[in-house]
Chain A
Amino acid sequence: MDRHPVRLLLEDDLRRSRLTVFFRLLLAIPHLIWLALWSIAAFFAAIAGWFAALFTGQLPTSLHRFLGSWVRYATHLGAYLSLAANPYPGFTGEPGYPVDVVIPEREPQPRWKTAFRLVLAIPALMLAAVLGSGFAGGGGGYSQSGTDDTSGVPWLASSGVGGVAAVCAILGWFASLALGRMPVGLRNLAAYGLAYTAQAYSYLLLLTDRYPNSDPAAVGPAWGLPPHPIRLELADDGRRSRLTVFFRLLLAIPHFVWLALWGIAAFFAAIANGFVALFTGRSAAALHRFLAAYIRYYAHVSAFVSLVANPFPGFVGEPGYPVDISIDQPERQNRWITFFRIILAIPAFLLTGALSAALLMAAVLGWFAALATGRMPTGLRNLGAFSVRYHSQTNAYLFIVTDAYPHASPPLQPPPEPEPVYADPFQPLPEAV
């Protein structure tokens, strides 16, 4: 995998101080004010840098350092706010914070790319808004909406923690207060969102001419991913048929109808499965097969509609689709987890909602890209595939197919070495940094 030059560095140990977690927003106020002021300066520096890069072909050293520090500082603050990191960040954006980004060295950039940078950056900024920046420039604040702030100066206006990172922060706040640790999946996902946002802003501010890449493998370190009974199998070659891309939503209509009908049956099957699992401690084989097929079919349709996969999927959820979900045989399930399943699933639901927004944005952007090039950009495809995987894990958890909690770390495949399964959603996992 070709790593992006703006790369995430993650050295967080997951431990959180309950006191600072509880007061995190209040503690961040001085930083928010400072970032707002710094953002105003960065705005004018960016304009000056744009003219300079247009004439000389690269950003002046001083501006590169100034804007790079701003991006790094905003990332630190975002990590602090979204609980992806614990220590109180410094005010200068110095390297060394547990969630940090590498800013590439200054180098010459094609002038035509520089000239159109603002326009070219718009799709990346849109995606960054959904994934959730930690930036609190301009309007400042800890906004949950990353999409309603595009007025005014774009890089200052992306205020607050956006969709995915916001949900991670909210869920992480409760988890950290309860456990004194941040769940690794939430931390990784928030860090991924921050890193992508840093890429987007680095591109916008001419710190690099490499376009942001939302592929988790390109953004972050070698993420850890625990073995899970619900896994993603990706065999897509990225090629897309322009005609079927153009009419994708219409072509999916029969699948929507079938999915809705099957969903009704799956709902009742899941209830029955819940009772079986409560009494016998594992789900019934026939119900497990039926629900597993539905989960796979749901994933196939989601992948097809969101352009994560190309071929028209079958109607029975058979394995073999290019974006597929493999589901293990039924195993023993904890009866307590089964009994409280719906309540326990709420955090996963919330995260699924946020990731669905990211999937939608990836699909919209991918639609234009695939129409123009006949290929789905790998970054968007892999972001979408991650969302499909998480959604499938949530469905499987809800339908009592497994009691393994959905894991929010963004990589698509688990590492080669097997690691233990954690049924407890807040159980920390060994780091694979």
Chain B
Amino acid sequence: MPDDLTLPDVQLTGIPQEILGRADRYERFFRIEFVVSQIVLLTVLAVYARHGIRFAKESAAGRIGTGMLLAMIGLALVWISQVPFRLAEVWWNRRYDQTDSGYVETLFANWFELGAEFLFICFALAMVMALAGRFPRRWWLAAAPFFVGLAFLFGFIYPYLTPTDRLQRADLQAAGREYAAQQGIDPVPLRVEDVTDFTSAPNAYAVGFGPSKRIVFWNTLLDGSFTDDEVKTVLAHELGHHSSGHLVKGVLWYALFALPGAWLIARITRRRGGMGDPAAVPLSLLVIVVLDLLSLPVYNLISRHMEAEADWKALETTHRPEPAKALFKEFTIQSLNDPDPPRWSYVLFDSHPSVEQRIAMAEAWARRR
């Protein structure tokens, strides 16, 4: 992406005013809901940090086992506290025709995922508590690289955990090979994920490292609502992530935060006996969530930069700004993305450039030609 790139002002022609108003109302709800849910989450975790140690008497599992139990209970409380918001999201999405999911289905669909989270937190905590038991003041030095390694591992195996099918579109397969060559990388396998059960919104994403690299299209993107050229723009964009090494860079960014983050957790939990003591586990959960929230704007800034870079690469690959503009407009029409969200919301929550910025980038690319 050129350093001197300045985005022109663009008019959002082609998007009916009614849709813009609808998108604005649709997204406003999620902003408010996010803020309220985070307040509830922090309150629950603050209470848990103060009183959670009481649950230690429910354990006969020794130091590390008790820590695992406390962490899982914390996660369970978080899950319970977020249930109303999850249901509210379904209600709102149904209201705006963004999903057909039922409420009961929403409650029970994520249990497998929740189980995986329970397992992961147990594994992570067992490692941290074992290290903290051995090195009470310096455990974070060893834990941070461990978690970075884990993030790499997860990034590598994630494509194998998500059920997808091979993309049965010869034209897109051919375009994928051609674009990959243009971007200087080997062809990346193209897959399709069936998301019909939980959303009607279109999407695609790039995942994996090395042999596990994939580009996954949601089937909602391939149902005929988007033209072939628009889908090819998406394909070039996702390939742009791979050719720019965004997935590796993402983990490296995480690594940059992991060390000070682990140090902060170690420092703050010291007054509860440190991470070697189960009593510190509830507090550590609160610290992790607070750090996560505080780092959200920074994470989103990095993410927006990468997305913009991938957009530019897509334009450089396809040389077709018009389908790109049409695609982004269609995102507003179909997914009700607010094309120009409030500044605070954009900074705090948005991991992608706004629709207006993305259209402006396509326009800027065209003018440079």
Contacts and interface: CB of A to CB of B under 8 A. Distances in A.
Interface of A: 241, 243-244, 246-247, 250-251, 253-254, 257, 300, 310-316, 320-322
A241 B65 contact: no
Interface residues of B, number: 23
Contacts, number: 66
B327 interface: no
B55 interface: yes
A312 B119 contact: no
A300 B65 CA distance: 14
Contacts of B111: 250
A251 B72 contact: yes
Interface of B: 55, 57-62, 64-66, 68-69, 72-73, 76-77, 111, 114-115, 118-119, 122-123
A320 B60 contact: yes
Given A247-B76, A253-B118, 11 more contacts: A247-B72, A250-B72, A250-B76, A250-B111, A250-B118, A311-B61, A312-B58, A313-B61, A314-B65, A321-B60, A322-B60
A312 B122 CA distance: 13
A311 B73 CA distance: 13
A251 B114 CA distance: 10
Contact of A253 (B61, B64, B66, B115): B115
Nearest to B125: A254
Given A243-B55, A243-B73, A312 B118 contact: no
Contacts of A253: 115, 118-119, 122
Contact of B61 (A250, A257, A315): A315
27 contacts: A241-B58, A243-B55, A243-B73, A244-B55, A244-B73, A246-B76, A247-B76, A250-B76, A250-B111, A250-B115, A250-B118, A251-B69, A251-B72, A251-B73, A251-B76, A253-B115, A253-B118, A254-B68, A254-B119, A254-B122, A311-B59, A311-B61, A312-B65, A313-B65, A314-B61, A314-B62, A316-B62
Contacts of A246: 76
A311 B58 contact: yes
Nearest to A246: B76
A253 B126 CA distance: 14
A289 to B, nearest CB: 19
A243 B77 CA distance: 9
Contacts of B57: 311
A83 to B, nearest CB: 41
Nearest to A315: B65
A314 B73 CA distance: 16
Contact of B76 (A243, A316, A320, A321): A243
Contacts of B59: 311-312
Contacts of B76: 243, 246-247, 250-251
Given A312-B60, A312-B61, A314-B62, A241 B55 contact: yes
Contacts of A310: 58
A322 B60 CA distance: 9
Contacts of B55: 241, 243-244
B114 A312 contact: no
A257 B120 CA distance: 11
A132 B103 CA distance: 38
B121 to A, nearest CB: 9
B65 to A, nearest CB: 5
A374 B58 CA distance: 13
Nearest to A304: B60
A39 to B, nearest CB: 38
A310 B58 CA distance: 7
A14 B66 CA distance: 49
B110 to A, nearest CB: 11
A26 B68 CA distance: 57
Contact of A313 (B60, B118, B119): B60
A385 to B, nearest CB: 16
Contacts of A243: 55, 73, 76-77
Nearest to A324: B60
A251 B61 contact: no
A424 B123 CA distance: 45
Given A243-B55, A243-B73, A312-B58, A251 B118 contact: yes
Contacts of B65: 312-315
B286 to A, nearest CB: 18
Nearest to B121: A254
B122 to A, nearest CB: 4
Given A243-B73, A244-B73, A257 B119 contact: yes
Contacts of B115: 250, 253
Q: Which 7 A-B pairs have the closest CB atoms?
A: A311-B60, A254-B122, A312-B59, A312-B69, A314-B61, A247-B76, A312-B61
Most-contacted residue by chain A among B61, B68, B118 (CB, 10 A): B61
B324 to A, nearest CB: 44
A327 B228 CA distance: 70
A312 B68 CA distance: 10
A253 B114 CA distance: 10
Contacts of B73: 243-244, 247, 251
A292 B69 CA distance: 25
A251 to B, nearest CB: 5
